Amino acid sequence: ALYGTECWPTTKKHEQALHTMEMKMLRWNLGLTRLDHVMNEGVQKTLKVTPITEKMRELCVRWYGNVLRSNDTSTAKTVFELNVEGCRPRGRPFTRWLDRLKDDMRLAKVTCRDAADHTKWKNRCKQVDPT
């Protein structure tokens, strides 16, 4: 379910759908139904599983660190440096991947300068611990 989520500009709708899918699988694993009235947090603690949305954030920040450490000719790195001009549609702007990444990096308390030190970046990004 998490394959390729490093590159998604995830929205609340995506997160909710993944959370619902995860909880259905966890409840099925325990043999529970919604009629058993067991809270989601209780199911996650029983199986010692962290929420899938937190894992998605961790993977996104870790992948971005790999991109920053890559050489300058990397295709992935040049995609982030593109500056597209033009008029935007009316209304609230869509959530872009970089906007979402900035929020995730703020939550992980890392900056782009920290990416040069691989062990520091890895330790800071790895905040999701199932135990």
Rounded Cα distance, 62 and 105, in Å: 10
**pLDDT at residue 67, rounded to an integer:** 82
| 122: Cα within 13 Å, side-chain hemisphere | 5
Residue 84: pLDDT over 70: no
Averaged pLDDT, 98-122: 84
4-60: per-residue pLDDT in tens? 777 777 888 888 999 999 999 999 999 998 889 999 999 999 999 888 888 888 888
Rounded Cα distance, 24 and 20, in Å: 6
Residue 97 or 48, more confident: 48
